[in-house]
Structure 1
Amino acid sequence: MKNCIISFSVILLVFAATAALAAAYRNITSGQARQLAAKRPDVVLLDVRTPEEYRQARIAGAKLIPVGSIERRYTELPKNVPILVYCAVGSRSVPVSGFLASRGYGEVYNMSDGIVGWFRNGFPVER
């Protein structure tokens, strides 16, 4: 009986770990993000900054859903394509990336250096 309980516990642990990994996102740099966007033209660029920040500068083609609106508006995003989440420096995009992953978005990337890193690398922005 004791061995059965231990075996069952191990199986549950494996399933829980698998589910946790499935709900993960990946941190990438702005350089890696640019490569991803070049390789995957279907990637959705998700800007989670404020509308004012978005108006000042954004990555071409980015969709604005401010961090405070993501729980109401995340269903606007398709689940079958990569989602690249960014903010100014990578702090606001972390919880959004985790949220999307937990909602079943399978390919979520957090741009860890944000649009500041993108700009510092000399990559183009829209104004």
Structure 2
Amino acid sequence: MSQSTFEHLDHVTLEGWLDNGQPLTLVDIRDPLSFSRGHIPGSCHVDNATVGDLVDQAPGDQPMVVVCYHGHSSQQAAEWLIGQGFTRVYSLDGGFVGWEANHPHRVER
């Protein structure tokens, strides 16, 4: 049975996944300037123009973590991705702001 909604993910769990080399797709939906000023290493910037490529190319068998500014917009995006057939979609609680506050050494600029 596939899940019908996204799940919340805290920054500590994401850090553990990254430390353990967990295969995942990190999707940053913030604006391009914010992304260029700092993002979680390994994340890809996705917007309305590139979301189709993400849907076509992202592996469906691994977790997908959606990151926005504060963890609100990512919930809507994660729910939309569930509707596109992805089954393991997570919204990062606290968003990039929370990640940067807790893991400033793990921000790529």
Q: Cα gap change, 1:108/1:56 in structure 2, threshold over 3 Å: closer, same or farther?
A: same
Between structure 1 and structure 2, the one with the greater Rg is 1
Asked whether the 8 Å contact 1:82–1:108 carries over to 2, the reply is yes
What percent identity do the matched residue pairs reach?
Answer: 22
Distance in 1, Cα, partners of 2:25 & 2:42: 8
Q: Which runs of 4+ in 1 moved over 6 A?
A: none
Q: Which of 72, 87, 93 is the equivalent residue of 2:52? A: 72
What is the TM-score normalised by the length of structure 2? Answer: 0.85
Which residue number corresponds to residue 107 of structure 2? 125
Q: Tell me the CA shift for residue 70 of structure 1.
A: 6.1
**Structure 2: gaps of 5 or more residues:** none
Q: Deviations along 1:61-101, whole A, 9 cap, x unmatched?
A: 111102x3465332232211110110111122111100111
Which residue number corresponds to residue 41 of structure 2? 60
Task: From the two aligned structures, give the one with the greater helix fraction.
Answer: 1
Which residue number corresponds to residue 83 of structure 2? 102
**Structure 1: gaps of 5 or more residues:** 1-17
Answer 1 or 2: higher relative contact order, Cα 8 Å, separation at least 6: 2
Q: Report the aligned-residue RMSD.
A: 1.9
SS at match of 1:109: strand
Does residue 36 (structure 1) correspond to residue 26 (structure 2)? The answer is no
Instruction: Read off the aligned partner of 1:125 and give its amino acid letter.
Output: V
Does residue 81 (structure 1) correspond to residue 80 (structure 2)? The answer is no
SS at match of 1:54: helix
